[in-house]
Structure 1
């Protein structure tokens, strides 16, 4: 029998989302014999594409920021840098329509100045706030910049409570703090831990002038997160098993992963990189010191409304709406392969929509089409060629106060059994960036002691 220390070390990664892809690539590059197991027929987790007739549809509009160094590192590792686009400078059109039909378009954009002056000009002319409210926002932003993200007390109160204590009004919350926060945290300020909100605003808006520049894929997400990821995993020697479900994980000197159907995979390292429920279901008894905490980590949904019009209504890549059920609208025409001359495909990204996530499609149609006509007057004479919705009921963990204590780190009490996923303790909300960082953290923990540690505090791919 070959001695353990002479055998090629092996790993099984359970889950083919961004966390699992990252962990599998890192472990394979370090010389591990890796098998990645994914229940679905594709990689990418919740950031995926599917076909609807001739249309290629992303399940939701997934964007990233220039400060998302880990996700951007993964994109580079997959050779997909040419397939994404990052704004030269942050520029967000923000549209509101008054009850009498008066349209007001403002912009949140940055200048080429140091923080916090980079946003001063934009705020000074932002029409959705009064001059007094603009001053209130500046004061709160400076106070936010001074918060210590390592202070555990930040997780005990809501962002809304902190905003009120710093002079913020319902108008400033709606026109700025929730405009950004709902999209990035999938929760309103009332529902969000100050710790996570402070992290988002300090990192994205108050750290580096270009940190908040918005990036998006120029192709369907599946082209990157499945096609290129699968090719790179296989090139790295990872055995990828799609449409394969794990039934049980048994821990021993060498762990055993039992697949549905009875096949057994043995490994020195097992990374559970699926959703929080699936990971919890596979964790052996005693693997976490406080397993009940994971069960208390709630969810927040995301609804995406997809509309294909017979004509072009939107002349910019996206906009955000105020005073409307509509939150963010994106032009997905070029990405989808829409082959109807002159037609346009718009996708509405709706976060923190607990009250709408289960509404029938007909009711959502009645709710959103008139709103689009109100925001985009040209829609009033346009024909709707297609209308459909995609729903992610458990899109993210709920970032409520007290959440930090519920998110486990990558290391369990079982040697060689690790956790990854955007729901783990990354310091980030449930984003693509958080998912990739968690995959790095799990790989780092698995490889600890076998090589000289690498400083990866920025989340970049090690070189």
Structure 2
């Protein structure tokens, strides 16, 4: 196929989240004409920002790890890597207030030693577990390292059952495994596929010493996922249509596709649906998947974020995790939000099924006293604002058996592909998984168009 033939090819990407933006960039970089269609008035999907008065607020706190090579590629590609740096070495302060007295501080941090010795010193001194519990963690980690996350049998059991078989106590699961797992998987151990748990812990903690070092945006997410993403798309020649809802996808003449919107329909040789599973199911043409209703069996899980503005500084660390309290993770968002005086804390609550619909007054009554227990300076501070953001379908539910439900990028309809963190990436519902799905969908489309495609990540070569 000549370059002129490639330039005459056109693709429509439906959905402007990380999966859609990645797909569009990959196709455009390979010389395909691309139109990206997004129903919202912004890009970024479920990782976005909004204005609240003079404050720029992220809908939720999003972090990534050094091992998230695809999302790091995305940041580089849109010119935002310096705005979301990774800590030099993993260091997670963990406060426990489940016992009388002042909060007890422990730390999960690594050294420069090779795996698994990089975490040995931290685990040996972790005060939230007994000596016997710490020893049991080491044995479980060795057993986990021998697992293959791609083994289909692992998808059929839950993480909690496996942990109990490895001699992990309820306290160990709470103070270590769920401390990490709930934040990354958006579910507690009993509700997590062992395959996904093995993937997360093997990749993050047992692959290389720096794999779990944490990165997060020092600017509003909208600056990365919308503003910079749009600039990158524009520079790549992608036509972006926001506030445009796709109503249907049908076969047009000569084997092409017609994407129907409220305006003039779009014709394309290739269509990529980078939308949530229910929206994708509604748009799929008949026969595109063998069992399309399986998409509706992929559950969703909510995330709740509590936002508190104090009139003074009450937290000196950039973030911490908590035990013995409903509070899970707390982040300082003061500088990123543009707040000039006082301090803005974001409390990120994953697996929030029990609280996602709770009234703001009830959440205020529950969380402000907990923050005062965790942060004594907050007892003398005045709360200037308190509000809540809710993502009821923040991620797909990583339940046992979900692996068999997640489709690949290819469909049975020539020229039609799927992308999204819920597709078969091998990763849980993370920004990393979303970007990886975009790589896979673009590669499949380019292969069908006869254009050789080199995967952006060396690890996948």
Unmatched segments (≥5 aa) in structure 2: none
Distance 2:459 2:268 in 1: 26
Tell me the CA shift for residue 381 of structure 1. 1.3
Any idea what SS the aligned residue of 2:41 has?
Answer: coil
Any idea what SS the aligned residue of 1:137 has?
Answer: helix
Q: Which residue of 2 aligns with 1:260?
A: 262
Task: Tell whether 2:387 aligns with 1:388.
Answer: yes
Q: Which residue of 2 aligns with 1:146?
A: 146
How many residues are aligned here? 455
Q: Contact conserved, 2:111 with 2:118, CA < 8 A, in 1? A: yes
Tell me the CA shift for residue 274 of structure 1. 1.2
Task: Tell whether 2:96 aligns with 1:96.
Answer: yes
Q: Which residue of 2 aligns with 1:377?
A: 376
Q: Which residue of 2 aligns with 1:329?
A: 330
- Bigger shift: 85-94 or 285-294? 285-294
TM-score (norm 2): 0.97
Task: Tell whether 2:145 aligns with 1:130.
Answer: no
Q: Contact conserved, 1:249 with 1:284, CA < 8 A, in 2? A: yes
Q: Contact conserved, 1:47 with 1:58, CA < 8 A, in 2? A: yes
Any idea what SS the aligned residue of 2:8 has?
Answer: coil
Distance 2:424 2:350 in 1: 22
Q: Which residue of 2 aligns with 1:180?
A: 180
Matched ranges for 1:61-460 at <5 A: 61-252=61-252, 253-261=255-263, 263-340=264-341, 343-448=342-447, 450-455=450-455
Q: Contact conserved, 2:70 with 2:457, CA < 8 A, in 1? A: no
Distance 2:458 2:174 in 1: 31
**Deviation sequence 1:80-137 (CA, Å, 0-9, x none):** 1211110111000000114423321000000100000000000000000000000000
Distance 2:290 2:423 in 1: 15
Distance 1:366 1:457 in 2: 47
Tell me the CA shift for residue 275 of structure 1. 1.2
Tell me the CA shift for residue 456 of structure 1. 5.2
Q: Contact conserved, 2:321 with 2:328, CA < 8 A, in 1? A: yes
Unmatched segments (≥5 aa) in structure 1: none
Distance 2:307 2:92 in 1: 21
**Structure 1 residues 6 and 448, CA gap change in structure 2 (3 angstroms):** closer
Distance 1:229 1:398 in 2: 27
Distance 1:143 1:30 in 2: 43
- Bigger shift: 274-283 or 433-442? 274-283
Q: Which residue of 2 aligns with 1:18?
A: 18
Q: Contact conserved, 1:313 with 1:376, CA < 8 A, in 2? A: yes
Distance 1:20 1:123 in 2: 40
Q: Contact conserved, 2:247 with 2:261, CA < 8 A, in 1? A: yes
Tell me the CA shift for residue 408 of structure 1. 0.6
Any idea what SS the aligned residue of 1:85 has?
Answer: coil
Any idea what SS the aligned residue of 2:64 has?
Answer: strand
